[in-house]
A and B are shown apart, each in its own frame.
Chain A
């Protein structure tokens, strides 16, 4: 018995040693994504492209609670590449950033401020936008002829809002700002986990949700996204970022990240997320298929 174990162990170590030889020239990079599926797909695509085109490997760290944890990781040198949104520049990081909902201005602010503060390169948007938006059940919108967020105001005093825990307390683009911009509030506003928010509106426990524009749950739960007619919500354009250290020392990585600019439209990302979240398919498979379709991967 003991002998067999020994033979087994030595064979295994031989195999493992054999595998190690391939990556002599490669380095390992770490790529971070928060809990949202779109960010996970982004970094998965980075991983596939980098590992296909170079000798480097990319390790993915995902399900980080929110962007502050990603920035903290970048600051500590734990993450080299990440997926982030331009609108986060209004998330209480910089006092001197002037609040705006103009997409170009927001992007420029994000590139400048985050770029300097965290010594990173903030690439141009990957193509899709993941804004906050107000969603209600389709049937409710049709019955009451509601198309815009302003239209909803008439019914607001009987409606319960379900939202993520942060939105209620956010300054500029949060609930307080919303009340100012639209001039009404809901009968009740409850913060909760995002996945439960959709369960909640599906079984009628909440009537209104702050949904995200790329979210396939909108299709799955027959939600109507209302037009933000006061242009209240700031743009959340998705971008890849990488530390300047990596960008400067590895032009091949920079090239790959550049090649991903304008790669995925909002509709395309919604479809991909539908595959992952609703069809429960593997993130890597879905990401690779998309890259193959685009001719970026064999």
Chain B
């Protein structure tokens, strides 16, 4: 009970700054997710059409390497290159979003029975027509699961961006660690969880609606 009233007191006192941190958090992670989607999905589609396996493997390997660098290290490396704040945080997190988006989209399109694509071609579909009318709709659940997985990752990793001056809910968590305040730590954590869960819900709804209609 005391804990609840403590939380309540903290929230009423500092809701303005909590909202600001939440806003910063959303700004960083949503920018990353949008950038990631608009870069990775077309790239993955293009990769399915690629004949050269070497280049394909190289792209996957690069994305894989980014995924294995500890986030703190990648963020720190970004500072001399892109400075402090929003930009380096977005670049670093963007690199993390690559692999799940690439892999899922690629796997989704690759999983389509070649005979179906062949049949479409036989019916006179152009490459683009077959892509948009057949391949992408069939691969859609895979693509969506890639988007959902990377979104959840990115929202949670955005907390680390506070280390390089980008703000966000990580600021609240780190401040709580340094200032011995559990309310700050938990508020930052809960807010980040809420953003992730809400976005996942929205994406799930979207998926159902689009998939249902296609």
| A contacts, CB < 8 Å to B | 65-69, 91-93, 162, 164-166, 168-170, 174, 190-193, 196, 199-200, 203, 205-206
- B192 sits at the interface (CB 8 A): no
- Given A93-B180, A192-B162, A192-B163, the answer on whether A205 and B175 have CB atoms closer than 8 Å is no
Q: Can you give 11 A-B contacts (C-beta < 8 A)?
A: A66-B178, A92-B181, A162-B165, A165-B174, A166-B175, A170-B175, A196-B84, A196-B164, A199-B80, A200-B84, A200-B165
Describe A's contact surface by its main secondary structure.
Answer: loop
Contact B171 A168 (CB under 8 A): yes
- B167 sits at the interface (CB 8 A): yes
How many Å lie between the Cα of A77 and that of B166 in the bound state? Answer: 37
Contact A190 B165 (CB under 8 A): yes
Beyond A196-B79, A206-B165, list 4 extra A-B contacts (CB 8 Å): A165-B178, A168-B175, A169-B179, A169-B184
How many Å lie between the Cα of A193 and that of B85 in the bound state? Answer: 12
Contact A196 B165 (CB under 8 A): yes
- Given A68-B180, A193-B163, A196-B163, the answer on whether A203 and B175 have CB atoms closer than 8 Å is no
How many Å lie between the Cα of A168 and that of B168 in the bound state? Answer: 13
- Residue among B79, B83, B170, B179 with most chain A CB within 10 A: B179
Expressed in whole angstroms, the minimum distance between the Cβ of A222 and any Cβ of chain B is: 19
Contact B164 A192 (CB under 8 A): yes
- Residue among B80, B84, B163 with most chain A CB within 10 A: B84
With a cutoff of 8 Å between Cβ atoms, the chain A residues found around residue B117 in the complex are none
How many Å lie between the Cα of A68 and that of B166 in the bound state? Answer: 25
Contact B83 A203 (CB under 8 A): yes
* Chain B interface, number of residues (Cβ within 8 angstroms): 25
Contact A191 B165 (CB under 8 A): yes
Contact B84 A190 (CB under 8 A): yes
Contact B178 A166 (CB under 8 A): yes
How many Å lie between the Cα of A193 and that of B80 in the bound state? Answer: 14
Contact B167 A190 (CB under 8 A): yes
| B contacts, CB < 8 Å to A | 17, 76, 79-80, 83-85, 162-167, 170-172, 174-181, 184
- Given A162-B84, A169-B172, the answer on whether A68 and B76 have CB atoms closer than 8 Å is no
Which single residue of chain B is at the shortest CB-CB distance from A69?
B177
Expressed in whole angstroms, the minimum distance between the Cβ of A156 and any Cβ of chain B is: 18
With a cutoff of 8 Å between Cβ atoms, the chain A residues found around residue B17 in the complex are 169
With a cutoff of 8 Å between Cβ atoms, the chain A residues found around residue B178 in the complex are 65-66, 68, 164-166
Contact A192 B179 (CB under 8 A): no
- Given A162-B84, A166-B175, A169-B175, the answer on whether A193 and B164 have CB atoms closer than 8 Å is yes
Which single residue of chain A is at the shortest CB-CB distance from B173?
A165
Q: What are the nearest 10 A-B pairs in CB distance?
A: A166-B178, A165-B174, A192-B165, A169-B175, A190-B165, A68-B180, A193-B163, A66-B178, A166-B179, A92-B180
With a cutoff of 8 Å between Cβ atoms, the chain B residues found around residue A203 in the complex are 83
Contact B165 A66 (CB under 8 A): no
Expressed in whole angstroms, the minimum distance between the Cβ of A217 and any Cβ of chain B is: 15
- Given A196-B165, A199-B80, A200-B165, the answer on whether A91 and B180 have CB atoms closer than 8 Å is yes
Which single residue of chain B is at the shortest CB-CB distance from A166?
B178
Expressed in whole angstroms, the minimum distance between the Cβ of B19 and any Cβ of chain A is: 14
Which single residue of chain A is at the shortest CB-CB distance from B174?
A165
Which single residue of chain B is at the shortest CB-CB distance from A200?
B84
Contact A165 B171 (CB under 8 A): yes
With a cutoff of 8 Å between Cβ atoms, the chain A residues found around residue B83 in the complex are 200, 203, 205
Expressed in whole angstroms, the minimum distance between the Cβ of A24 and any Cβ of chain B is: 41
Contact B79 A191 (CB under 8 A): no
- Given A199-B79, A203-B83, the answer on whether A191 and B179 have CB atoms closer than 8 Å is no
Expressed in whole angstroms, the minimum distance between the Cβ of A208 and any Cβ of chain B is: 13
